[in-house]
DNA sequence: AGGTTGATTCGATAACCCTCTAAACAAGGT
DNA sequence: ACCTTGTTTAGAGGGTTATCGAATCAACCT
């Protein structure tokens, strides 16, 4: 639990975004700009142990397994999740740094509350 | 400048997202998941006076006026910006509440540091 | 009234993305 | 070896979206 202070405006509105930064950021945002992928991300992140098996995820949707697999690949390519095969099943976990990077764009800048 | 404490995980990973919430959120994210719109948003938000004329924005891109207008409409429909005509020109400004809502999804939850 | 400049709407085209089926790959059990 | 279950890859179809040119609307100026 860290104390911080909120100041001023989110990074996005602190100065004009460069074209390259905009392209990179948009790619990351596109990865989460889908209802299925948002739910996948939230299901994986909130699952006990911090990881979820693909089999768990597939059942929660009215979609075929290949479709879920496709969405997981998009999230993985974007660096939002990481997958590992252990025996029969593949387990995915969230990469919190990338999620935080997303939040930092739109959140009023916070600084550590210590001198 | 408000003091807060960071605790645990971002809302997205605190529990599974409902289908409706996911759809709403994805719509908002899709609005910003585009390089041109990200730059527009950042240019408007960082412009002096907190607002920018469409004429300023159009010049910064290698795109036609109708295309810029289209992107502005997407941002406006999503509730991220608001436009107002004053005389000859139309001025846009950022709606910070909506931007903050985006950030809150991915940012580790912060709580007011008082009690 | 007519003309000029700024901004949006309309209609069309091309690229992209979500979803599916079919097929392939991976691991375990009999 | 074979079959079953879990997961991914490949290819195709249908809908969405970005972009443009042309036309329209809005306000100002002479």
Q: What is the CATH number of the domain that holds A46?
A: 1.10.10.10
Task: State mean pLDDT over B47-55.
Answer: 96
| Residue A45 domain boundaries | 4-112
- What's the number of domains chain A is made of? 1
Is B103's CB within 8 Å of A99's CB? no
Chain C: bases < 7 Å from a protein Cβ: 5-11, 17-23, 26-28
List CB-based contacts (under 7 A) with strand C: A 30, 34, 36, 62-64, 66-67, 70-71, 74, 85, 87-88; B 53-55, 58, 65-66, 68-70, 72-73, 83, 88-90
Return the beta strands (E) in B10-99 as ranges. 51-53, 81-86, 89-94
Q: Is the CB of A25 under 7 A from strand D?
A: no
Per residue in A22-79, pLDDT (tens digit) is 999 999 999 999 999 999 999 999 999 999 999 999 999 999 999 999 999 999 999 9
A115 band by pLDDT with thresholds 50, 70 and 90: very low
Per residue in B7-41, pLDDT (tens digit) is 678 899 999 999 999 999 999 999 999 999 999 99
b (16+ CB within 10 A) / e for B71-98: bbebbeebebbeeeeeeeeebbbbbbeb
Instruction: Tell me how far apart the alpha carbons of residues A69 and A64 are, in angstroms, rounded to a whole number.
Output: 9
- Predicted local distance difference test score (pLDDT) of residue A1: 63
- Predicted local distance difference test score (pLDDT) of residue B62: 96
């Amino acid at each position: 639990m860290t104390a911080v202070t909120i100041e001023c405006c989110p990074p996005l509105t602190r100065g004009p975004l460069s074209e390259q930064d905009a392209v990179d950021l948009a790619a990351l945002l596109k990865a989460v700009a889908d209802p299925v992928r948002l739910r996948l991300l939230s299901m994986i992140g909130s699952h006990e142990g911090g990881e979820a098996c693909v089999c768990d995820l597939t059942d929660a949707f009215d979609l075929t397994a290949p479709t879920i697999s496709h969405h997981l690949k998009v999230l993985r390519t974007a660096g939002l999740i990481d997958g590992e095969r252990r025996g029969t099943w593949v387990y995915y976990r969230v990469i919190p740094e990338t999620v935080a990077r997303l939040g930092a764009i739109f959140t009023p800048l916070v600084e550590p509350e210590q001198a």
